[in-house]
Structure 1
Amino acid sequence: MTGSSTPGGALEPGDPAPDLTLPDTHGTPVHLADLRGEAVLLVFFPFAFSGICTGELCELRDNIEDFEAAGVRLLAVSTDPVFALKAWHEQEGFGFDLLSDFWPHGAAARAYGVFDADSGHALRGSFLVDADGIVRWAVVNPRGQRRDLEAYRAALAEI
């Protein structure tokens, strides 16, 4: 798959996905390498409880069956601390894991080329990683611009 719209520095299709280990909302480490053998969609987002992020992740929650049917595990990542993500997860009832990239602050977002050092948060970057750990689709949207569900669906159709 060749579709992508990432700025310089962000991973592109064909790149190996950097490994990461981040805590989920229960503090349990999620290790990307342990998920080899299944496709994973990493969705980096700026802040829990913010308007655009809530809208985007609720849309993913409401369409989770699209990802499940494609055999893709959805993981959403922000630089928020575990406790904030846990409260947001409980409030919104997300059916997928939220991972905290709080410390070392933004290390995973940096590895994927989507950390905004000036503001200290992740940009809206999404990376579809295949079962072998290779990025197959990627998109990074500018500040304030939400990602399109139809673009996710098109990427899922090709994996």
Structure 2
Amino acid sequence: MHRLAGVGDQIGPITLYDVDGTPVELASLSDRPVLLPLVRYYGCMPCRAFLSELNEIRDELHDAGVRLVGVGGAADYQARHLMEHGIGFPLLLDPRHDLYRALDVRRIRWWMLLQPVTWRNYLLAARRARQGRITGHPLQAPGLAIVDTDGTIRFLHRGKTLGDYPTIEAIRSAVGRISATS
């Protein structure tokens, strides 16, 4: 039976890509803990709204010693558009979903699209973002991880439906705990 990756586990080498297609090794980002929101895709309305919320606290995260780097599928043009229009942190691509697999952030079941919480997430996101063209797999679950300098997972949230991210307060709390032990 496959054991799920979890807090305290280490993830191996992962290659991501910047919007120009240049490989970026996850380990190269780890001069400090890295907070990695894993979006369904960069055009997803709840995902864009969540990235916008993180953008508002990016200086606070930096001051706490945490690097913020977004991860999405293969739509480089969507990531580039977001960075050109206000997202002030790098958005990297994971076209083969290697990081998603390493963290066991899986696809959701189609029936979750019918759940009230999914519709609530979309309605709340409508205040901050507009839907972009669907790229990749429409049922990819979102997630968020904080990975320490040695590759150890320090915080992990696996979304159960579209737009299921931890609250900003939960992220602040996790960052505070990590900062206190660093």
Deviation at 1:115, TM superposition (A): 3.4
Counterpart of 1:130 (choices 148, 152, 156) is: 148
Counterpart of 2:91 (choices 76, 98, 108) is: 98
Alignment map for 1:48-59 (pairs within 5 Å): 48-59=42-53
More strand by share: 1
Q: Which runs of 4+ in 1 moved over 4 A?
A: none
Secondary structure at the residue paired with 2:84?
A: helix
What amino acid is aligned across from residue 60 of structure 1 in structure 2? L
More helix by share: 2
Q: List runs of 5+ in structure 1 lacking aligned partners.
A: 1-7
TM-score (norm 1): 0.82
Deviation at 1:34, TM superposition (A): 1.8
Q: Given the alignment of the two structures, is residue 147 of structure 1 paired with residue 166 of structure 2, yes or no?
A: yes
Q: List runs of 5+ in structure 2 lacking aligned partners.
A: 110-135
Alignment check: 8 A CA contact 1:11 1:138 kept: no
Alignment check: 8 A CA contact 1:78 1:122 kept: no
What amino acid is aligned across from residue 101 of structure 1 in structure 2? D
Query: Share of identical aligned residues, percent?
Result: 31
Secondary structure at the residue paired with 1:143?
A: coil
Inter-partner Cα distance in structure 2 for 1:117 and 1:139: 14
CA deviations over 1:39-68 (Å, ceiling 9, x no partner): 111111102122211110000001111210
Counterpart of 2:82 (choices 51, 66, 88) is: 88
Tell me the matched-pair count. Answer: 149
Are residues 33 and 146 of structure 1, via their aligned partners in 2, closer, same or farther at CA, if it must alter by over 3 Å? closer
Counterpart of 1:44 (choices 32, 38, 43) is: 38
